[in-house]
Structure 1
Amino acid sequence: MTSHDALLLVSFGGPEGPQDVMPFLENVTRGRNVPRARLERVAEHYHRFGGVSPINRQCRELKAAVETDLAAHGVDLPVYWGNRNWTPYLTDTVRRMAQDGVRRAAAFVTSAYSGFSCCGQYAADIDRARAEVPGAPEIDKLRVYYNHPGFVEPFVEAARAALARIPADLRDRARLAFTAHSVPLAQPGRERYAAELADIAAVVAAEAAPGHEWALVYQSRSGPPSQPWLEPDIGDHLRKLHAEGVEAVVVVPVGFVSDHMEVKYDLDVEAAELAADLGLTFERAATPGTHPRYVAMVRELLLERSAGPDAPRPALGSLGARPDVCPVDCGHARP
């Protein structure tokens, strides 16, 4: 059924205690000359939650769900997990795979879009980990899946549920704001990233809230003010809605696969507090997490890859399915 003998879950990683926070942030920003003061400000976001990012717990839950799904469908593969920026580190996981005799693995990354930050950097880290491990297995990164029905359908369901939580007298006039992590305009693959976000936001809006006005906005930028990044920022957008007399907004974090720190703090704390200050009724839609459709998608991508390039590639929206091996516009070069 599959040409691979293991599945590798690759994620970003996050601290699991107060003592981990600053070393983790130093890992993430190494070589980027980020001021210490900026790291300390971001560290406070984590300390607000006890110094623990939810992302590792979410990866454990996803790994367990994928293992259950594979077994239920007769796919007998071990599932490994490695992070780019915190334990379990990707290189250590690849070393364990080699010791276990894995020869060829498929890699599923917890980032759905094209572009350097979402795809290219993960591919480079996989290559780096393999280079550091003698006898490392071949690792095939599964394709970009932002428009796969298994990723999109959970957002449609979540957006409908969030809209239903808006008071009935405001619901018909509520706006939708689709959010994603901002990136510098100079980052390779930025154009493709923005186009994919806009394409799939349109699909979710049409399915979940036909007739409602919506916008694509960005969040969580970390660069200096002088460096241009994708805009508008979610905070600026909320102020604009308030100025227009809008009374309710549903925020759909379509750029994220799970409720990690950029969702829990930047949306559930910062954006929600700003909305309250402005008098905006605010609801945030859930991310896919371990939604059964999302979990099943992992298996579908694995089997699709094994079936070869002529196998059907389900995709919603107007841009079509991404190829197994990303072309230049995916942003595989460091800016």
Structure 2
Amino acid sequence: MTHDALLVLSFGGPEHPDHVRPFLENVVRGRGVPPERLDAVEQHYLRFGGVSPINAQNRTLIAHIEAELSRRGRELPVYFGNRNWHPMAEDTVARMKDDGVRDALVFATSAWGGFSGCRQYDEDIARALAAVGAGAPRLTKLPQFHDHELFLDCFADAAAAALASVPAGSRLVFTAHSIPEAADVNAGPPGTSNLYSRQVRDAAANVAARLGLDHDVVWQSRSGPPQVPWLEPDVCDHIRALWDERVPGVAVVPIGFVSDHLEVIWDLDTEAKDLADELGMPFARAATPGLDPRFAAMVADLVDDADAGRSSGLGVSVDGAACVEGCCPAVRRPVRA
């Protein structure tokens, strides 16, 4: 079947200093995060003018998708909605209804399985449909894309460019957002586990293989009480360990992130780079793929597959098991910018 629109569904981010606090309150609603924690995260955003790059980068991505679809002979309207800040998904779906959209695809800007990367986007879609009510368009989410060739090619070229700017023999280090170990154990359809971390490791191995290099996988952006185990090692701890091993430099590849936003700009470009500078260790950070035209071509491929009936609209685990209702349960955790 041929769908009549595409919704790009993302996390959202503030675009003005006055937006920062209400945005963060949306992110942590229902989690019981103390105000002092929000105060600290708010300062990270305000250090960069209270603006996250994520919305602007998603708008550029949408322009690239529209151009790619047009090149393929598809004049498909592409809409933009967010989970946590304007344009909110509910408002966008209401506009789609008013525009006469009947059957739309949804591209969620996360490559990964697990609660935050997959199931929560399903919940976003359900919430938006419930808010709009009768006459809302049918929305079908496109599948995960952690193993799509174009996604991996984007990161391989970005990693090669980063490596070219640091000394020979520098370590290739892939990083993704840490999550509680309990959330990772429960990530996936029944009969599977550790879906998220295994997908990240699988993608990193695929990118490194394109370059013919060894690599490490580390994690970033953890938060919450120290007694709760999260995926480790932390990227900064790993940089210190590499320095102790006399590794001549490090090229960090944010494999877990589609675009530059505060968790890339703060945790990598600020904290990790500052640490490397303090140690005297050459440091480079690879670009995220969202602004690469090949990433838009990947989205267009997913649209073509869905129109041709080659996609279920569900994620698939590294074991090949299809996602089902109730997989990847939520684990309550605090926010981290």
What is the TM-score when the length of structure 2 is the normalising length?
A: 0.91
Cα contact 1:143–1:322 (8 A) shared by 2: no
Give the aligned partner of residue 262 of structure 2: 261
* 1:270-289 → structure 2 map (5 Å cutoff): 270-289=271-290
2:174 corresponds to: 178
**CA distance in 2 between partners of 1:226 and 1:289 (Å):** 35
Cα deviation, residue 309, structure 1: 3.7
Give the corresponding residue for 2:335.
none
SS of structure 2 residue aligned to 1:165: coil
Structure 2 SS opposite 1:43:
helix
- Counterpart-to-counterpart distance in 2, 1:321 and 1:161: 33
CA distance in 2, matches of 1:19, 1:224: 28
Contact 2:66 / 2:75 at 8 angstroms: preserved in 1? no
Aligned equivalents of 1:127 and 1:329: distance in 2? Answer: 14
User: CA-to-partner distance for each residue in 1:22-51, whole Å, 9 max, x for gaps?
Assistant: 110010001111111111111111111100
Cα separation, 2, equivalents of 1:310 and 1:104: 15
Deviation at 1:327, TM superposition (A): 3.4
Tell me how far apart the structure 2 counterparts of residues 235 and 161 of structure 1 sit (CA, whole Å).
21
Please give the alpha-carbon distance, in whole angstroms, between the structure 1 residues aligned to 2:321 and 2:202: 13
Corresponding residue number in structure 2 for 1:244 = 245
TM-score by length of 1: 0.91
Task: Give the superposition deviation at 1:307.
Answer: 1.3
Indicate the SS of the match to 2:194.
Answer: helix
The residue number in structure 1 matching 2:196 is 193
Structure 1 SS opposite 2:128:
helix
Contact 1:114/1:330, CA 8 A, preserved across alignment: no
State the partner residue of 1:165.
165
The 3-state SS of whatever aligns with 2:217 is strand
**Aligned residue runs from structure 1 range 97-176, under 5 A:** 97-134=96-133, 135-166=135-166, 170-171=167-168, 173-176=169-172
- Quote the Cα distance in structure 1 between the aligned partners of 2:234 and 2:157: 25
Take 1:308 and 1:109, find their aligned partners in 2: how far apart are those partners?
Answer: 19
Partner of residue 56, structure 1: 55
1:334 to 293, 318, 330: 330
Q: Deviations over 1:95-114 (max 9, x none)?
A: 11111111110000111111
Q: Percent identity?
A: 53
**Cα 1:126–1:329 shift into 2, 3 Å:** closer
1:174 and 1:161 map into 2 onto residues whose CA distance is 13
The answer (yes or no) to whether the contact 1:115–1:329 under 8 Å persists in 2 is no
Deviation, structure 1 residue 275: 0.8
Measured in 2, the distance between the counterparts of 1:94 and 1:21 equals 24
Match of 1:203 in 2: 206
Q: 1:12 to 1:282 in 2, by over 3 A?
A: same
SS of 1:186 mapped into structure 2: helix
Whichever residue aligns with residue 110 of structure 2, its letter is S
Question: How far is the alpha carbon of 1:224 from its aligned partner?
Answer: 1.7
Aligned equivalents of 1:330 and 1:149: distance in 2?
26
1:34 alignment counterpart: 33
Can you list the C-alpha shifts for 1:118-149, whole angstroms capped at 9, x where unaligned?
Answer: 01101111111101112211100000001101
**Cα distance in 2 between the residues matched to 1:112 and 1:322:** 16
Residue 321 to residue 307, structure 1, CA distance change in 2 (3 Å) = farther
What amino acid does structure 2 have at the position aligned with 1:118? Answer: G
8 Å contact 2:163–2:251 — kept in the other structure?
A: yes
Alpha-carbon distance between aligned partners in 2 of 1:330 and 1:230, rounded to the nearest angstrom? 20
Q: Deviation at 1:222?
A: 2.0
1:177-234 CA-to-partner distances (Å, cap 9, x unmatched) read 10001111122417100001111101111212x24x3211000112221211111111
SS at match of 1:283: strand
Structure 2 counterpart SS, 1:106: strand
Evaluate the alpha carbon distance shift between residue 321 and residue 16 of structure 1 in structure 2; reply closer, same or farther with a 3 A threshold. Answer: farther
Aligned pairs for 1:201-240 within 5 A: 201-208=204-211, 210-211=212-213, 213-240=214-241
- Distance, in Å, in 1 between the alignment partners of 2:97 and 2:241 is 53
Preserved contact between residue 143 and residue 311 of structure 2 (Cα < 8 Å): no
Q: Which amino acid aligns with 1:260?
A: H
* Whole-angstrom distance in 1 between the partners of 2:196 and 2:275: 27
Contact 1:16 1:51 in 2 (8 A): yes
Amino acid at match of 1:83: N
Query: SS at 1:32's partner residue?
Result: coil
Unaligned 5+ segments in structure 1 are none
Amino acid at match of 2:140: D
In structure 2, what is the equivalent of residue 70 of structure 1? 69
